[in-house]
Structure 1
């Protein structure tokens, strides 16, 4: 009765065929999605969080060696913010400037 597939049809006004409101039972799909949420989705999120926490590297990461690639830093005009050389979402730990890393 949980996986009732055949729809129950009734003749409505003006000859329109409609589904009965109790065609799938009272709690069929809602009960299934509630069970999937509690027994599959939430434990999956919890295990993912635990995996990230246990494998988190708490040491400071070193910047990779800087290799100048002039074609990656072409500026036809400066950016309209700050000094004109940094992108809007510049991260000094990851994104180097055209000449070198900022930390050096």
Structure 2
């Protein structure tokens, strides 16, 4: 039992004591940036994720496909793409990206 205490429990208590020290007292150097990361940046990222998730539903209703107009200076293909049929880009979206002849059906 004493080996278990020495190996696991005492090391866990020393880590907790070190973490409590970081939460109180004057923060300098790496302790300051550790506090900023966990107390400011992490909640800010969470709020941004919530905002993006709530905004996803609103933008789907607002997106309307623009009518296709065949301009000569747009969608020029000097070389074919090295994958597929050569007309579609690697991240082609048939609902949003027209081919040089127009939108797909």
TM range (shorter): 0.5 to 0.7
Name the residue aligned to 2:88. 86
User: Which aligned runs of 4 or more in structure 1 are off by greater than 6 angstroms?
Assistant: none
The structure in which a higher percent of residues are helix is 2
How many Å apart are 1:30 and its aligned residue? 2.0
Considering only aligned residues, what root-mean-square deviation do their CA atoms show, in Å? Answer: 2.1
How many Å apart are 1:48 and its aligned residue? 0.4
- Between the two proteins, the alignment pairs up a number of residues equal to 77
User: Retained in 2: the 8 A contact 1:70–1:98?
Assistant: no
The structure in which a higher percent of residues are strand is 1
30-39 or 86-95, which moves further after superposition? 86-95
Higher Rg: 1
Question: Does 2:46 correspond to 1:41?
Answer: no
Note the residue ranges of structure 1 that are not aligned, 5 or more in a row.
1-26
How many Å apart are 1:79 and its aligned residue? 2.5
